Amino acid sequence: MKNTKGLLALLFTLVLVLAGCVNTKSDVDKAADKSDSKTEQGDVVIELLGMSSSEADMNIVRDQLIKNGFEVKLNIQPDYGSFTAQKDAGNYDLALSSWTTVTGNPDYAVRALFKSDGDNSIMSDKKIDELIERASTETPEEYTKTYKEFEELLVLEKAYIAPLYNSFKAQGVNKEVLNEETVRLAKSRAIAWETIDFTDTSKRNSEPLVMQQGIASLTSLDPIKGNDGSINTLNTNMYVRLVNLTDDDKVVSDGSLSLNHAIADGNKDYYFLLRDDINFAAVTDKKAVDTGERVGAEDVVFSLNRAKDSKSVPDHRTYSLHESMENIEIVTDLSELDVKQSGSETSVKEALENGVDSGINELVSNKTEADATAGKYQVVKITTTNPFPQVLNYLAHQSAGIVSQKQVESINTYEVDSFDVKTDIPYGDQNTVTEGSSYNNTLYASGPYILTYKNDYEAVFMKNPAYMPGTENEAKITNVTVRFIADADSALSALRNGEIHIFNGVPETKYDLVENDSKLSLQKNDSNAVSYLLFNTKDREVAKSESLRKAVLYSINQEEILNYYQGNKKKAVSTVSPLVETGNELKADTDKVKEYLNEFKQGK
């Protein structure tokens, strides 16, 4: 028996070696020594950049490229920070990327990524820009054709990206600790903490809700300075917005800073009736305190003006989401609300008054004078440059979170043009909330929670005591801890062991482990998350050669990827695939690969 087992082990090892499915460190190091696009034998070398958490996808792509005649060099980075550093340095031909349209609208799925001046774009194509702008002014009935043309150009004609798949969204919940009915899983927006409650409600003030996220280094706690997985959920729960998204991507005022909102006839003017029961929270001795400063229209105007101004802060990463706003103002003339709503015979005033306890008797410009019980309100009006109904989706994004004008201006005293990262400390710098000598928490949170402190292991939040107190929107649990666990298997283990209560992002290959655990519940939903390969558009052969990009594109076999994930992925063509039915499809084609590789080798 022992000899049989040994023989089987030897044969299994031999199969693995012959299959070439495992890259050792020495293999990667040898590949890293090759910087040319072609080897001496004439093979085309492709450098694939990704994180260790996505190594399975990298291996699948590598094997598909190798089958089609490429030599692949893997550049595997341990975390998001080092991945970004390698990407910024241009050390890749293909970067394994992903994008989730957290606002539920197709413009968000394309503008920041592919428009020439987009926050996350490394490409420039005038025709792509024109299509993005055209679609942004169109209704859903009109823009399907435009997004189809955009997708054909972006992927099938120019091969600026190579799509891999559209993911489902899944999270595991410890149903013995949490009331699973209070835990939301929205298609787009980040998980909302304020609704979550314990099964034993007596623990609300004594026990923490324990969450998880993979990235420990936070881009910025200033909502306009980051748009990535390190801060989207955190800032979503720290800053209130003018509107929110439902779990199926409808724009609503529920749980937001506005009691109601309305669109005037012409789709250029948007009105928001503000509530008066939210104060900013601050941190004193690592505890959340009520500052006594109300969140009001003045802060909205300040926040959104800086959101749309690319020069309001150094390293502004979200301005292109808000550039459609031409003017943000406080309405003081009550008669202005008598204009008709878009598509209705009723007035904007009637729409804003719908369901509120007291009608609008007076409009005030000073937030301290607002008193909803007396019918004294603040109204903010946003005017867009062109008709643009999708602006509401952007106002639901974390980057449209409302900050304190007084607090931010007191912190950001530097000159933007001469900002020095070594000496200037901006509002939201993660170092100010990190335990140690640099700790000096100056955050002012308008949302249901505020970050009190963090370290390499976790971030600790506390409930804003002045966030809609006494309403259904008041946060249920006082303390929230976010553990930094980068590895999905480790996070799943922590969930099963009771160390965390929710794991948002259960891998498709691990669904059965959650479903078969009696303590846990698996929540699943469609998502707007798309994974794709982003081509380097600078200083590499893939930047110069459309033929080379197309050879890579048609090497990608999505059927094989879906099989690996046991059918728990969907096909995609671009980042708009989950949002718009374009009818486009990418099909692997070895003949096309050979054709385009030959063209590349011939210098075409």
Query: Which pLDDT value is given to residue 138?
Result: 84
Mean per-residue pLDDT over the chain, rounded: 91
Rounded Cα distance, 100 and 227, in Å? 11
Instruction: Please write the tens of the pLDDT for every residue from 38-77.
Output: 544 458 999 999 999 899 999 999 999 999 999 999 999 9
Instruction: Please write the tens of the pLDDT for every residue from 182-201.
Output: 999 999 889 999 999 999 99
The structure tokens listed for 328 are: 């943000």
Please say whether the beta carbons of 59 and 76 come within 8 A.
no
Query: Which pLDDT value is given to residue 42?
Result: 57
Query: Which pLDDT value is given to residue 376?
Result: 98
Which residues are CB-contacts of 215 (< 8 A; sequence separation ≥ 6)?
Answer: 79, 80, 228, 229, 230, 484, 486
SS3 of 504, please? strand
Q: Among 11-25, 131-145, 226-240, 253-267, whose mean pLDDT is lowest?
A: 11-25
Query: Which pLDDT value is given to residue 137?
Result: 83
- Comparing 221 with 3, the larger pLDDT belongs to 221
Task: Give me the residues paired with residue 518 across strands.
Answer: none
The structure tokens listed for 121 are: 């774009």
Pairing mode, strands 325-331 and 287-294: unpaired
Which stretches of 424-557 are DSSP H helices?
488-496, 511-515, 541-544, 546-553
Q: How confident is the model at residue 1 (pLDDT cuts 50, 70, 90)?
A: very low
Q: How confident is the model at residue 563 (pLDDT cuts 50, 70, 90)?
A: very high
* Count of residues in the chain: 604
Walk me through the domains of the chain, giving residue ranges and CATH numbers: 23-167+527-601 (3.40.190.10), 178-500 (3.40.190.10)
The structure tokens listed for 44 are: 């085309």
Rounded Cα distance, 16 and 511, in Å? 26
pLDDT at 11 exceeding the cut of 90:
no
Rounded Cα distance, 35 and 47, in Å? 9
Rounded Cα distance, 496 and 276, in Å? 42
135-159 average pLDDT score: 93
pLDDT at 219 exceeding the cut of 90:
yes
pLDDT at 491 exceeding the cut of 80:
yes
Query: Which pLDDT value is given to residue 548?
Result: 97
Which stretches of 396-545 are DSSP H helices?
405-411, 488-496, 511-515, 541-544
pLDDT at 33 exceeding the cut of 90:
no
Which residues are CB-contacts of 375 (< 8 A; sequence separation ≥ 6)?
Answer: 358, 359, 360, 361, 362
Rounded Cα distance, 235 and 351, in Å? 30
Q: Among 24-28, 107-111, 265-269, 310-314, whose mean pLDDT is lowest?
A: 24-28
518-536 average pLDDT score: 95
Pairing mode, strands 44-51 and 94-100: parallel
Please say whether the beta carbons of 190 and 398 come within 8 A.
yes
Query: Which pLDDT value is given to residue 532?
Result: 98
- Comparing 473 with 31, the larger pLDDT belongs to 473
Q: How confident is the model at residue 516 (pLDDT cuts 50, 70, 90)?
A: very high
Query: Which pLDDT value is given to residue 16?
Result: 34
Q: How confident is the model at residue 509 (pLDDT cuts 50, 70, 90)?
A: confident
Task: Give me the residues paired with residue 331 across strands.
Answer: 379
Query: Which pLDDT value is given to residue 227?
Result: 85
Instruction: Please write the tens of the pLDDT for every residue from 432-484.
Output: 999 999 999 999 999 999 999 999 999 999 999 999 999 999 999 999 999 99
Task: Give me the residues paired with residue 570 across strands.
Answer: 166
Which among 57, 96, 214, 100 has a CA at the least distance from the CA of 525? 100
CA neighbours closer than 13 Å in the CB half-sphere of residue 408: 22
Query: Which pLDDT value is given to residue 37?
Result: 60
Rounded Cα distance, 107 and 136, in Å? 6
Please say whether the beta carbons of 137 and 486 come within 8 A.
no
Q: How far is CA 153 from CA 105, 140, 228, 235, 591, in A?
A: 20, 20, 26, 34, 21
Long-range Cβ pairs for the range 584-588 (8 Å, 24+): 584/148, 584/151, 584/152, 584/155, 584/156, 586/155, 586/156, 586/162, 586/163, 586/553, 586/556, 586/558, 587/554, 588/64, 588/554, 588/555, 588/556, 588/557, 588/558, 588/559
pLDDT at 32 exceeding the cut of 60:
no
- Comparing 139 with 148, the larger pLDDT belongs to 148
CA neighbours closer than 13 Å in the CB half-sphere of residue 30: 8
212-228 average pLDDT score: 94
Instruction: Please write the tens of the pLDDT for every residue from 372-408.
Output: 999 999 999 999 999 898 999 999 999 999 999 999 9
Q: How confident is the model at residue 31 (pLDDT cuts 50, 70, 90)?
A: very low
Phi, psi of 43 (to 5 degrees): -65, 150
Phi, psi of 595 (to 5 degrees): -60, -50
589-593 average pLDDT score: 97
DSSP per residue, 164-197:
EEEEEEEEEEETTTB-GGG----SSSPPPSTT--
pLDDT at 158 exceeding the cut of 90:
yes
Which among 529, 448, 468, 590 has a CA at the least distance from the CA of 57? 529
pLDDT at 6 exceeding the cut of 50:
no
SS3 of 7, please? helix
225-245 average pLDDT score: 95
